[in-house]
């Protein structure tokens, strides 16, 4: 039986990618990846919890990944973050993006970017256990049930 490896390790192996110092990545680059991994995790949870139409699945997923919800999550998990994670979050929040999400305030968009940067950082550091822990904490703190 083949030993299970992380998605990140498998991607790196299959595409011949080496190790990178994550501190050299811009917060917007981390957010670019974090947005995707958070979306994938939420989509997976929503699909596993609901055998529903794609439209209903999309609405449920969208409720959790929109900038306003991510801003609330960012606020809710602050006391659970390590100093390293707080630093990544701050870098993401302070990043100068030239776009904003539709229907989101600039403040919410910056907090959402900060959260995505943190999630991207944890994913690229192959710390999925911590990423899952923070997502579970956030859903619990906001009393979100899937």
Catalytic center residues:
35
Distance of CA 128 to the CA centre of its chain: 11
The answer to whether 124 and 8 have CB atoms below 8 angstroms apart is: yes
| Distances, alpha carbon 35 to alpha carbons 13, 19, 42, 116, in Å | 23, 21, 11, 5
Greatest extent of the chain over all pairs of C-alpha atoms, in Å: 50
All residues at 6 or more sequence positions from 36 whose CB lies less than 8 Å from its CB, including other chains: none
Q: What are 106's two structure tokens?
A: 């600039």
C-alpha distance across the termini of the chain, in Å: 34
Report the residue count for the chain. 146
């Amino acid at each position: 039986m083949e030993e299970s490896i992380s998605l990140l390790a498998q991607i790196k192996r299959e595409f011949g990618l080496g190790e990178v110092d994550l501190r050299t990545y811009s917060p917007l680059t981390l957010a670019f990846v974090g947005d995707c991994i958070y979306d994938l995790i939420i989509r997976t949870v929503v699909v596993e919890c609901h055998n529903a139409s794609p439209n209903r699945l999309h609405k449920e997923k969208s409720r959790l990944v929109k900038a306003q919800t991510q801003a609330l999550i960012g606020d809710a998990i602050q006391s659970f973050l390590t100093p390293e994670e707080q630093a990544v979050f701050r870098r993401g929040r302070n990043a100068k993006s030239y776009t904003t999400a539709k229907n989101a305030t600039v403040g919410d968009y910056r907090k959402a970017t900060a959260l995505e940067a943190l999630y991207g950082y944890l994913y690229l550091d192959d710390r999925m256990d911590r990423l899952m822990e923070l997502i579970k904490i956030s859903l619990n703190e906001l009393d979100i049930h899937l």
